[in-house]
Homo-oligomer: A and B are copies of this chain.
């Protein structure tokens, strides 16, 4: 009866699964994610529909639920892709700047603004999306968020030799969150947001103010 039944470990590792099945499943998942990226980029997170994604990916509606767990999980995959691209953009911005920590942090903030403007809907989806209450974000996706603060830490450490470890990490998070807040309210077109044409200047002014303040701490 259990002759051909894989146990849980084998399922997870997938070592006994046929190559054809495995490959097709992976390819379908890839296609679904690519289509979802396109849909969110074109019509926003709320414009992502299970029926449209599967139709465009060339599979039945139900196939989505074997390729990925959920429509929510599909969004997480899309967000992971976006975070990877954002991470690359921030890394490039940092590398391209002068070595002084002030210049690096200003370049990072400018890079963040540029990426958000150039990838509005995909960037918005990163923070619009909410899992249903009680559902915890899977670990593989949590880790992908690290790119948002990774590049901040080194230049911030140079400016704040008194900070290290947890305290430094915390200040990096706060710095990112402050810049992010200005960008988000502006690009959402909120009443209290800064007009988009002034966004870059205001973010630069904010970063400079934070840096001068930090310097004297």
**Chain A contact residues, CB within 8 Å of chain B:** 43-44, 46, 127-128, 130, 132-133, 137, 142, 145-146, 148-149, 170-171, 173-174, 176-182, 184-186, 190-195, 198, 202-203, 205-206, 208-214, 216-217
Contact = CB atoms under 8 A, between A and B. Distances in A.
Contacts of A214: 209
Contacts of A192: 145-146, 148-149, 173, 176-177
A217 B202 CA distance: 13
In the A-B complex, the 9 residue pairs with the closest CB atoms = A181-B181, A209-B213, A212-B213, A178-B178, A145-B191, A213-B213, A177-B182, A177-B181, A177-B185
Interface of A is mostly: helix
A199 B181 CA distance: 15
Contacts of A190: 127, 145
B46 A191 contact: no
Nearest to A167: B198
Nearest to A43: B133
A87 B157 CA distance: 37
B206 A174 contact: yes
Nearest to A210: B209
Nearest to A214: B209
A130 B46 contact: yes
Given A180-B185, A181-B180, A208-B213, A191 B146 contact: yes
A166 B101 CA distance: 31
Contacts of A44: 133
21 contacts: A44-B133, A145-B192, A146-B191, A170-B195, A170-B198, A173-B192, A177-B181, A177-B184, A177-B193, A178-B178, A178-B206, A180-B185, A181-B182, A209-B209, A209-B213, A210-B210, A211-B213, A212-B212, A212-B213, A212-B216, A213-B213
